[in-house]
Amino acid sequence: MKGTVKWFDDTKGFGFITSNEGKEFFVHWKSIVTSSDKERKFLVNEEEVEFDTLDTEKGTQAINVVRLNP
C-alpha cells in the first residue's frame, strides 16, 4: 500500500500515515525499514512511503514502512 506521512514526531518516535485511499494508520519507529540496523529510523512529514498493515488490539497499524524518496 502507498501513502503519505501525515506527521511524525521524531522525539517520540511515532506518527501517522495517510494511505492513497484516505485512511490513517499509526506508525511506530520500529516499523520503519532501513538498509542497515544502525541507520536511524525516522519519517519526514509529507513524504511518500510504501507499507503493509497489521490489525492489533489498538487498531490497524502501518508496518514494514519504506521511504520511497529518502
Q: What is the mean pLDDT of the chain?
A: 95
For the range 21-29, what are the long-range contacts, defined as Cβ-Cβ under 8 Å and sequence gap of 24 or more?
25/51, 25/53, 25/60, 25/61, 25/62, 26/58, 26/59, 26/61, 26/62, 27/51, 27/61, 27/62, 27/65, 28/61
| Domain residue ranges of the chain, discontinuous segments joined by + | 2-67
Please identify, in words, the CATH class of the domain defined by 2-67: mainly beta
Q: What is the pLDDT of residue 37?
A: 83
Mean pLDDT throughout 37-43? 91
Rounded Cα gap, residues 40 and 58, in angstroms: 26
Evaluated on CA atoms 60, 54, 62, 69, the torsion sign reads negative
**pLDDT tens sequence across 55-70:** 999 899 999 999 998 7
